[in-house]
Every structure is written in structure tokens, then in C-alpha cells.
A and B are shown apart, each in its own frame.
Chain A
């Protein structure tokens, strides 16, 4: 496995626990999805993998990447992993690109450092990269600034920047959420093509289940800082074994009810630090039994390569 976390637990400054006991794996050349509502801890998990959490946060458990123990890295160790081992694409490219530095500078500064390239070689590779992410006129783009591009083009630039130092794993944190639907499809196709061409692994974070089925092989479903279900994406999305996954699918527009009516999940999401002692979804769950109320259920095998953190694990069907 390229990346494997075990029992990853994140506590923000002030002692609020936000992510509990998360174990996830990403293989080489694999695109893995992380799904969940906002506030489910999926972005914080990603930031922990790059040591980007706010100062004063603590991360417990284990995280191994490419043979290295991530949580034991010092400052220099992180500098060599960031960009060259794991890199990140953010949700809003307008906010994630420096408004006052040229695309060329932002594309080559870390590339030169990690790959030891000369200015000229770095520029040549930058042109190649822009070509790879399908940006027309790469030479001119290098001299341009982010504000001169559309949102979709900016995200392509951001992806090129993330790939510049040849990382093995790309963490994409809702990279299409801020973009138009038509532009979104282009970015997804790009990521999928990059995986095929370069053997890149991608950890794709989203709240959009439709995007998952189009792109990912396996999916982790997050809720209240826990993984509630995981397995091959098509299986998880068609026959969910955790009531939360089913509810999430039902809450999707044009979803399971077949009438096109929106099916809201009853109750409200868990507030960090005020989680119930048992399963975080128990107060909103119509399948809950006594066992759900005492301790958070462990992930248990429900099928080939499938796990759900639910003692009931009802057989559910989502009719598309």
C-alpha cells in the first residue's frame, strides 16, 4: 500500500476531537474516494496527511506513506514529503493560487527544489505539464497570473502545480465543488487520464456521490469524524450496508425514491465534541438497536472487501 493510516485520531487545539480511529488505504495507481457531508472530518484527515492542521492540533494513531512513518517526521522530513511525495489540490483554485505570483513561478519553485532542475529545465517541464493538463498556449500561460484565467483553467493550473514535483499521491479536496458542472466533467476526466498515464494515486474527497461513481474504485464514507462504511464504490453506492450511506444516497436529488423528491435525513449532524457515546448516527437512525447506544460500532466485514460500522447492517437497495 502506498498510503495506510491506522486508528488516525485528530484533536484540534482546545481539545476538540474531530476525527476518530480512521483507517484508510490507498494503493499505487488507485483512485480512492472519501465521501461525507461538510464537517465530517474528511478535509481534516487530508490536511493531517500533509501536516497542514492548525498549530496546536494533535494527531494520534499511525500513518505510513511509501515506507515512511508520516507522524514521526520532523520539519525537513515533511518538506521532502510535501509536494514530492504527497501533494494537494484545493477546493477553490482562486483562493489556492497566489494572486501576485506568475503561473511560471508557482509551477517551478518547488519543482526546482524537489527535482533539482535548472531554471531552463524547470521551464521546459512546466510547459510539458501545462500541455498535459490541456492548457492552450503554455508558453504564454507561464508569464500570466491566475486572475487572467477562468475557474476551470485555474483548477487545471493548480493540478499542474500539484503534479510538478512528481508526487506519488495526489489529495484532491473537493476540486470540482467550486466549478460549473460542465467544467467539472473535464477535471474528472483529466484526473482519470493522469492516473492512467502516470500511475498517480488519488485520494478524492467529495460530498458528491455522483462524482465518486464516475471516478473511484473504492470509497470511504465519513460521518462525524468516523468511517462508517467502505468498499468498492459501485457496491457501496448500489447496495449500501450502513443506514447512513443509504440516507445519504436517498438525500441525493433524483435519488432513491424515484419521485425526484428530496429525501432529507431526519435530525441534524453531530456537533464535534458533543457526539453520543455510541454510533454517531444512532439518534437519526431508524434501524438503531441497543448495541448502537453504548459504544461506537467497529467496522465489520459485510461482504467481499466490504465493511460497515453497523451491528445491524441491513440489506438495503437503492433503486436508481
Chain B
């Protein structure tokens, strides 16, 4: 205590510099606490929902013959702890969770954690390129429409994005499969790799990255070809919303005095767009991109099922239909974690480009 007082008295310069770093640290600590609370809430809600649903894990998983044997059903229930009261099941789950054990999937019979490690990279391989593409295209096209406000380009973009917005992803998936696989034969029908190839040695779990790391370029090309259609569908799903949002955000910025002032300085139009318009217009876009990524992840459930893509979406779908509680909980926790991480990134980027936030 006395030592710290003395130190503070001796080093006023350090004391003045202090608020900078701890500010970010305090912010991150607060976020971490919120995240832990959120994840706990997710376990409660998911547990409650699964037990409220009129259905039974035993009936969902056992064959009809097995269901006729009360001893077998009882054994099944005892095996998964379903014979215990709900609060005991919950506390037991929470206890295991605190020890890093997410339980065992009733579907695959493997630990949920290793299932997630297997399926998550597959989904990321779809979601990340889709999100990056959607952001690039959405920003460019939305900005173009705003700059050409009211002219033909703007009209085409508006009608196009409305079409994209009202196209159901499952329908689009089927159409592109029909077109590029069935009619043209230029694309594989689904899955992550053709049957002639075996998966590359696992490093990240993403086949395109792993095969490139291993120098297996034939596998790499095959994996890329398998990615094209599902990524296309997911990009379309996300880009329409982004275009509309970027357009209206940019239109608002275009009407401000500081854009007028930038033109009045004699800057070339492109410089005004790149330096003045883009920077200001991106702030709301970054905020909404967190939500867009969440929407994209939920879109993977349908897309993965149609394209036979063994990702988290397909895993979630199968677990839900089988009332496989540990898997459902695992997926829920994972998705909640992704949400909080994405929102954290959004807030950090926000502070990075807007000095009013960074300096306050």
C-alpha cells in the first residue's frame, strides 16, 4: 500500500500515461464477464427448451423394437443420465462443463468437443469466404448505387438486391445445383471432396488451407471446386442485405456538409469517395456486419444440408431432430461464443476507425 503510494508520487509521468492501456483492459475484462454470463444463460435456456419440447430422446434414438423393451429403454435412460431429475442433470452438465467436458453426443457416440473440432472448421471454410465476399461486394455495389442515386445503376441495384433478399436460400441452392451440376456438369454435387481424394493431414481442419500447407494441389483444387456453389449461395444470402444497408448509410453521408466541403476543396471525386465517404459510411456497416454474420451462420444450416456439407449446421440439424441434448448444448454454446467474439471484433474495429470513440 505505502509502496504503491510512493511509486505513484515518484512517477507522475507514468501515472498520466496509465489510463490508456487499462482502458482497453477494463473493456475486455467487462466483455469477458458478460460473455461468461451469456454462455451460462445459453445453457439454462437450451436445457429448458429441450425439456419443454414434447418428445423424448429415447423415442428419437432407439428403434421401434428396442422401444418395446422397457429394460432397454431404462438402460438407455440410465446411460445418458435421463433417469435423474432435470436439476441434477443440469448441475451435472454444468460441473462437467466447468471442467472442459461438453459431454458425449448420443448421435455420434463421440465427445461433443471433438465433434465440434471436426465440424466447425468445415463451416468456417464456408462462412468466412462468404462473409468476406459479401462485405467486399456489398460495400462496392452499395456505394456505387448511392453515388449514382436515382439513376439507372441505382435502380438496377435496388431491384437486384430486393430479388436477392426475397430469394429463399434453399431454393437458390437447388437451382444452382440443378444448373451447374445436373445441366452443365461443371460443379460437384456436394460434399467437401471428391471420392477419389482423401482429406489432407489435419492442421486447421479447413481442407483448402490444409491441402495447400501439405502442397497437395490436386486436392486443393478439388476442395475449391466443392466450395464454389455453397459459398455462392451464402454470399447471395448476405450480400443483398448489406447492399441495401450500405446504400442508405452512404446516401446519408453524401448529404452531409463535410462531403460538400471535400468537393469544395477541389479534391478529385475518387479521393472524396475513398477517403471521406467510405470512412464515414463504413461505421454503420461494420455495426450491421456482426448481425449479418450471425444470419449467415444460421443460413449454413439449410445450405449444408442441401450440399451435404459436414459442418456445424448439419450437425445442429441432426442433433436437434434426435433431441441429442449434449450436442445441442455444444452447438448453442459455440454459436453464442461466435456471436460475442464477432461483436467484440465489431466494437474494436469501430473504435479503430472512429476517433470519437477511440479517444473517449
Min distance, Cβ A171 to any Cβ of chain B, angstroms:
9
Q: Which residues of B contact A (CB under 8 A)?
A: 256-258, 260-269, 271, 275-276, 279-280, 283, 353-356, 359
* Pair A145/B275 contact, Cβ less than 8 Å: no
Query: Given A82-B264, A110-B267, 15 other A-B contacts at CB below 8 A?
Result: A50-B264, A52-B263, A88-B261, A96-B260, A97-B258, A98-B258, A98-B261, A99-B354, A99-B356, A100-B283, A109-B271, A110-B265, A148-B359, A158-B261, A165-B266
* Pair A87/B264 contact, Cβ less than 8 Å: yes
Query: Which chain B positions have C-beta within 8 A of A80?
Result: 266
* Pair A92/B355 contact, Cβ less than 8 Å: no
Min distance, Cβ A281 to any Cβ of chain B, angstroms:
31
* Pair A113/B266 contact, Cβ less than 8 Å: yes
Q: Which residues of A contact B (CB under 8 A)?
A: 50, 52, 75, 78-84, 87-88, 90, 92, 95-102, 105, 109-110, 113-114, 145, 147-148, 158, 161, 165
* Pair B264/A99 contact, Cβ less than 8 Å: no
* Pair A109/B264 contact, Cβ less than 8 Å: no
* Pair A98/B264 contact, Cβ less than 8 Å: no
Measured between alpha carbons, how far is A83 from B258 in the docked complex, in Å?
Answer: 14
Interface centre among B260, B261, B354 (most CB of A within 10 A): B261
Measured between alpha carbons, how far is A100 from B279 in the docked complex, in Å?
Answer: 7
CB-based nearest B residue for A167? B266
CB-based nearest A residue for B358? A145
Measured between alpha carbons, how far is A318 from B359 in the docked complex, in Å?
Answer: 53
Known A-B contacts A90-B257, A98-B276; A165 and B265 likewise in contact (beta carbons under 8 Å) = yes
B263 touches which one: A82, A100, A114 (CB < 8 A)?
A82
Interface centre among B256, B263, B264, B353 (most CB of A within 10 A): B264
CB-based nearest A residue for B262? A98
Measured between alpha carbons, how far is A92 from B256 in the docked complex, in Å?
Answer: 11
* Pair B262/A145 contact, Cβ less than 8 Å: no
* Pair A113/B258 contact, Cβ less than 8 Å: no
* Pair B356/A145 contact, Cβ less than 8 Å: yes
Measured between alpha carbons, how far is A142 from B323 in the docked complex, in Å?
Answer: 62
Min distance, Cβ A51 to any Cβ of chain B, angstroms:
8
Query: Which chain A positions have C-beta within 8 A of B269?
Result: 75
Q: Which 8 A-B pairs have the closest CB atoms?
A: A83-B266, A82-B266, A110-B265, A95-B257, A83-B265, A96-B257, A145-B355, A98-B258
Measured between alpha carbons, how far is A161 from B258 in the docked complex, in Å?
Answer: 12
A96 touches which one: B261, B271, B355, B359 (CB < 8 A)?
B261
Query: Which chain B positions have C-beta within 8 A of A95?
Result: 256-258
Query: Which chain B positions have C-beta within 8 A of A105?
Result: 275
